Amino acid sequence: MITLVRASEICDNKLLTLESDFQQRAREWLHKMQEISVYPLIYCGFRSFTEQDALYAQGRTKAGRIVTKARGGQSYHNYGLAYDWVALRENPKNRGFYESDWDNDGAYRIGDAIGHALKITPIEWESGHMQDARYKKFSDIPAKGTTKAVQAFAENIETKKPSFFSSWKSR
């Protein structure tokens, strides 16, 4: 469980790993959500090709269940053009502390609607995944340059995940 202050620090860190134009819109999305008292935790932003390949291996050549359809380079995350979020809900027995509300379909619907106006789009098979609507498919992304800059930047930012992440779903 985390406080909203800690959650907003995590969101900030993840937002900083995103490509600048998309990052601006993602930030606006976050503020609009908070304004109507939905508190998203953005738990994934940029993901390196290596991390993506490791995720792809899960449930295929490695143990675990399949969590992604994308190999390294095939995910919008690899270009800083996607983030994953989950709504937080306050723990009734522990005021001021929040936990992830994975099955909050109402919150996802609100997130999708607010994203729409900002050219941020959800995908069908993964609740909470939002990506840049400027590109219809990953191969449309003008990767050169963007990737390098985003990657270099992202690697300088805190990538160590807090321990509570390990028990969470990886999407």
Q: Which residues bind Zn ion (CB under 5 A)?
A: 84, 129
CB of 44 to Zn ion, least distance (A): 6
Helix (H, G, I), strand (E, B) or coil at 5: helix
Helix (H, G, I), strand (E, B) or coil at 126: strand
CB of 27 to Zn ion, least distance (A): 18
Which residue's CB comes closest to Zn ion?
129
Q: Which is nearer to Zn ion, 25 or 129 (CB)?
A: 129
Helix (H, G, I), strand (E, B) or coil at 130: strand
Backbone angles phi, psi at 85, to 5 degrees: -140, 160
Q: Terminus-to-terminus CA distance in the chain, angstroms?
A: 19
| CA gap 105, 108 in Å, rounded | 5
| CA gap 116, 128 in Å, rounded | 14
CB of 135 to Zn ion, least distance (A): 15
CB of 51 to Zn ion, least distance (A): 12
Q: Which is nearer to Zn ion, 117 or 123 (CB)?
A: 123
Q: Which is nearer to Zn ion, 1 or 67 (CB)?
A: 67
